[in-house]
Amino acid sequence: MLGDTAVAVNPEDERYQRFVGKHVMLPLMDREIPVIADSYVDREFGTGVVKITPAHDPNDFEVGKRHNLPEIDVMTNDAHMSAAAGKYAGLDRFEARKQIVADLEALGLLEKIEDISHAVGVCDRCKSEVEPRISTQWFMKMKPLAAPAKETVLGGLIEVVPDNQRTILLNWLDNIRDWCISRQLWWGHRIPAWHCATCRQITVARETPTACQHCGSPQIEQETDVLDTWFSSGLLPFTVFGWPNWFCTAAPRACSDPAAIPAANIVAPSAI
């Protein structure tokens, strides 16, 4: 609630048409937020009015993008409330929940409390609740890869069995989204990018740089995120066969000089 940046209604809901474009005051934060119209809202569910928190909900994030809403992250990495949470800053998330309910009740803004069953993500290992939260991540552009993959299927070079899965595959390729390849894990292939403390730019390089390629500052630090496991597994053929050199299929060694072996036994890494 502390990160709400709009209230949304369905554009076809006649009950609220007169409010679209106006502003309401967000309780506890004393922040004016707009009333917007978006088809995402199910007018038959509840009151037909939904608060939008772009920084803490995937669906709200998409709504926020469509309406240019600000994204206010009210949490920290250790599940406490951030400075953006106002007077609740520093509180553990569960303590903040209790305090917010108490404050709403004290202000006479709490209509009722009831139990509602809904989906809550939990960690598979520790079973603690997972908080959706906006963050900076690394992505791979997928459209340039999906296009030739689709042509391969349409051209019959790959047979999909059963045939109905072929349609599903093509639909997936048509609607593919960029792939988030960064993970916040202790172990994995580190992303080859270095952040500059001076100019805040990013240097991406094959070898560890000694200075920022933008401003020359030596105050650079490598990205702490690691690559997604599936992305890392795709690197295996290259890493074990001497990439980026050519390698020889006739011997388990990298061939830095392709001319030294018969052409029939030379394979480029891109052909794997």
What CATH number is attached to the domain comprising 44?
3.90.740.10
Q: How far apart are CA 94 and CA 27, in angstroms?
A: 19
Domain for residue 126, yes or no? no
Confidence (pLDDT) at 136: 87
Domain for residue 250, yes or no? yes
Domain for residue 156, yes or no? yes
Domain for residue 223, yes or no? no
State the residue range of the domain holding 261.
Answer: 241-271
Domain for residue 61, yes or no? yes
Helix (H) or strand (E) holding 234: helix 229-240
Helix (H) or strand (E) holding 169: helix 164-174
**How much is the pTM?**
0.74
Domain for residue 151, yes or no? yes
Confidence (pLDDT) at 117: 87
Confidence (pLDDT) at 236: 81
Domain for residue 192, yes or no? no
Confidence (pLDDT) at 119: 87
Confidence (pLDDT) at 258: 45
Q: How far apart are CA 16 and CA 189, in angstroms?
A: 51
Confidence (pLDDT) at 39: 96
Q: With a cut of 70, which residues of the chain have pLDDT below it?
A: 242-272
Domain for residue 65, yes or no? yes
Q: Which of 81, 106, 131 is the last residue of a domain?
A: 106
Q: What are the C-alpha distances in Å from 150 to residues 24, 128, 141, 173, 235?
A: 48, 40, 15, 7, 22
Is residue 97 domain-shared with residue 162, that is, in the same domain?
no
Is residue 19 domain-shared with residue 74, that is, in the same domain?
yes
Is residue 101 domain-shared with residue 158, that is, in the same domain?
no
Structural domain count of the chain: 3
